[in-house]
Amino acid sequence: MEVVQGILEQFGFDWPKFIAQIIIVLVVYFILAKFAFGPVLAMLEARRKRIEEGEQNVKKIEAELAKAEEKVQAMLDEANKDAERMIAEARDSAEAVRGQKTQEAIKEAQAIIEKAREASRVEHESAMSELKKDFGRLVIDATSKVTGKVLDDEDQTRINQETAGQVSL
Amino acid sequence: MDFNLPILALDSMSPLLAAGGIAAPGLPDLGWFTNSILVAIIVTVAVLLFTRMATKRMETIPGKKQNFVELVIEFLYGQVEGIVGKHVAPKAFPLLATIFIFVITANWFGLIPGVGTVGWGPGKAALTVDAVSTPLLRPATADLNMTLALALVFMVVWFWISVRELGVWGSLVHIFGPKGGLVGALKYALMPIFIFVGLIEVISIAFRPVSLSLRLFGNVFAGESLLSVMGGLGKDIFGLSGFAAFLSSVIFPIPFYFMEILVGALQATVFTLLCAVYIKLSTTHEGEDH
C-alpha cells in the first residue's frame, strides 16, 4: 500500500483535495440520479408504453376493420344471393304467368275461332236452308206456271222435299 | 512560485497548458482549493443546470433540450443494459451515466481556450506575465484526485451492487469458489487453486481504482501537455518570435486539438465501459454466461 500511496502522491494525490473531489462526484451522482435520470427514464418508459398502447390500438382497429369488411362482404354476398334468388323467382314467375297467359290466349283464340266457325256454319246452314226454300218456291212457281195448275199444300210440300233432296250445295 | 503579482493574467497564446506541474496547484491564498476543483465545480454546475433546464418540465413531445438529454440517456441506458443485463441495469445506470457525462464534459471543458493559459505567475505589468505558473482553470480530469475520486465512488457502488446481487457469501463464493461447474472429488482437489486464483482476483480488484484513475488522468494530462508543447513548438524549437511565434502557437496544435476531442470521448467511454464490465463480472450468477 505504501508503494501505491507513494505513486499516488507523486502524481499529486492529496487527501483534502481528494475528499473535495469525492464530494463533487457524489453531488453530481445524486442530483443527476434524482433529477435527470429518474424523470427521463420514467418519461421514456411512459412514451414506450404509450407507443405500445398505440400499436395495440392500431392492431385492434385493423382487426375490427377487417371484421367489419368481412361482415360487409358477407352482407353483400347475402344481398347478392337474395337479389339473384329474387330475380330467378321473378323470372320463373314471369315465365309461368307468360305461359299461363299464352295458354289462356290460345284458348280464347281457339274459342273465338270455334265460335266464329260455329256462327259461320249456322249462318251457312241457315243460308242454305233459305236458299233451298227459295229454290223450292221457285220450282213450285215454275211448276205452277208450266203446268198451269194451282198446286195445293201437299204438292208444294212434296215438290219442296224433292227439290231439297236433289239440290246439293 | 512567485505571487508578488497575484493578478489574473494572460500568458502567451499557447493554448491549454496544464501548467503547475503534475499535481494540481491550489489557487493563491485558497489552500486545498485547486484550479481543478474549481473546474470540477463549474462542470458540475453546468451539467446540473443544463439537465435541470431540460427536465424541469418534461413533456411527451420533447423540446430541443429535453430531446437531447433523452437521446443521451436512452443511448447510454441501452449500452449499459447491453453489458450488465436488464436486471442490474437500473441499479448500475445512474452511476455509469454520471461517470460518462461528467468525464466527457470535464475532458472537453479542458479544450476551451483559456483553460490552463489564464492564471497567475511572475510578471512585469498588469495583465501580463512571463509564464503562467498557476493556471486559474485546469481540466478536472487532469487531476489524479478527481479521477481517483471517480474510481473510488465507483468501487463503493460496485461493491454495494455486487453484495446486493449475490450476497456476501455469494460474492465470496463468486471470487474464491470453484468455477466451471466442477463437482465431486475434483472440485475439492482443485480448491487450493481456486482460492489462489481468488486471491489474485482480490489483488486485481484492489488495483482497479488505481488503474482506472491513472489511465484517465494520464491520458488527459498527456493530452494537455502535448497541446502545450505543440503550442510552444515554434518558439522553443524553431526559435520563432513575435507574430510568427504567435501564428505557430495557433497552427501547430490544431491537428492535436481534434485528436484530443476524440481522446476525451474515448477515455470517458473506456472508463465507463470498464466500470460496466466490472459490474457485469461481479454480478453474474453461476451458470450465466461470463
CB contact under 8 A, B98 and A27: no
Q: A31 contacts in B (CB within 8 Å)? A: 48
Residues with Cβ within 8 Å of B46's Cβ and at least 6 positions away in sequence, in order, are B105, B109
CA distance B141 to chain A (A): 10
> Residue B94: which of A11, A16, A29 has the nearest Cβ?
A29
**Residue B289 within a domain:** no
- Rounded to the nearest angstrom, the minimum Cα separation between A81 and chain B is 52
Is B145 near chain A, with CB under 8 Å? yes
Coil, strand or helix at B238: coil
DSSP A12-48: T--HHHHHHHHHHHHHHHHHIIIIIIHHHHHHHHHHH
Facing residue for B34 by CB, picked from A8, A17, A28: A17
CA distance A148 to A25: 175
Q: Three cell numbers at A77? A: 354476398
Tell me the three cell numbers of residue B159: 461493491
Tell me which residues of chain B, numbers 88 to 107, contact chain A at a CB-CB cutoff of 8 Å.
93-95, 97-98, 101-102
Instruction: Report which DSSP code applies to B125.
Output: E
Question: What per-residue confidence (pLDDT) applies to B20?
Answer: 60
Decide if B62 is inside a domain: yes
Q: How confident is the model at residue B14 (pLDDT cuts 50, 70, 90)?
A: very low
Spatial separation of the C-alpha atoms in residues B141 and B150, rounded to whole Å: 10
Cell numbers standing for residue A110: 281457339
Q: Above 0.95 for ipTM, yes or no?
A: no
**Is residue A16 within 8 angstroms of chain B, CB to CB?**
yes
The single-letter DSSP state of residue B118 is E
Output the pLDDT for position A168: 63
Q: Rounded CA gap, A8 and B207, in Å?
A: 12
The pLDDT assigned to B13 comes to 43
The alpha carbon torsion through B40, B43, B48, B54 (nearest 10 deg) reads -170
Interchain contact A131–B (C-beta under 8 A): no
**Angle of helix B191-231 versus helix B253-283 axis, rounded to 10:** 160
Region B13-35: mean pLDDT is 65
pLDDT of residue B17: 47
Give the domain extent around A34.
2-166
Of the two residues A58 and B60, the one the predictor is more confident about is: A58
pLDDT band at B5 (very low <50, low <70, confident <90, very high): very low
Contact B52 A36 (CB under 8 A): yes
Q: Which tens digit of pLDDT belongs to each residue from B179-192?
A: 777 777 777 788 88
Chain B residue numbers touching A39 (CB-CB < 8 A)? 55, 58
Select the residue of B31, B40, B58 nearest A24 (Cβ to Cβ): B40
Lowest mean pLDDT among A102-116, B41-55, B218-232: B218-232
Report residue B26: phi and psi, to 5°.
Answer: -70, 150
pLDDT tops 90 at residue B219: yes
d(CA B206, CA B183): 30
- Residues B88-133: pLDDT tens digits? 999 999 999 999 999 999 999 988 887 877 777 776 665 666 666 7
Exposed, middle or buried: residue A47 (CB in 10 Å: 0-12, 13-18, 19+)? middle
For the entire predicted model, the pTM comes to: 0.72
Angle at B275 between CA B148 and CA B54, to 5 degrees: 90
pLDDT of amino acid B155: 96
Total count of domains within chain B:
1
Q: Do residues B217 and B147 touch, judged by C-beta distance below 8 A?
A: yes
Q: Is the pLDDT of residue A44 over 60?
A: yes
CA distance B42 to B172: 41
Which residues on B lie below 8 Å from A41 (Cβ)? 73, 77, 93
CA distances from B287 to A50, B174, B180 (A): 36, 11, 8
Nearest alpha-carbon partner for B70 in B86, B51, B96, B57: B51
State how many domains chain A has. 1
Determine the distance in angstroms separating the CA of B241 from the nearest CA of chain A, rounded to an integer: 34
- How far apart are the CA of A55 and the nearest CA of chain B, in angstroms? 17
Q: Are the beta carbons of B149 and A36 separated by less than 8 Å?
A: no
- CA dist B137 and B218 (Å) reads 18
Range of the domain at B88: 9-283
Best of A37, A45, A47, A53 to disrupt the B interface by mutation (most B CBs within 10 Å)?
A37
What does the pLDDT read at residue B126?
59
Q: Which of B92, B99, B100, B90 is nearest to B160 (CA)?
A: B92
Asked whether residue B2 is assigned to any structural domain, the reply reads: no
C-beta of residue A72 within 8 angstroms of C-beta of residue B88: no
pLDDT for B7: 39
Q: Mean of the pLDDT values across residues A98-104? A: 91
Compute and round to an integer the Cα radius of gyration of chain B. 24
B88 three-state secondary structure:
coil
DSSP state of B3: -
> For residue B114, which phi and psi values (nearest 5 degrees)?
110, -30
CB contact at 8 A, B7 and B28: no
Closest chain A residue by Cα to residue B206: A1
Which is nearest to B133 in space by CA: B220, B45, B254, B6?
B6
The CA distance from B143 to B213, in Å, is: 9
Q: What share of chain A is helix, strand, coil (3-state, %, to 5)?
A: 90, 0, 10
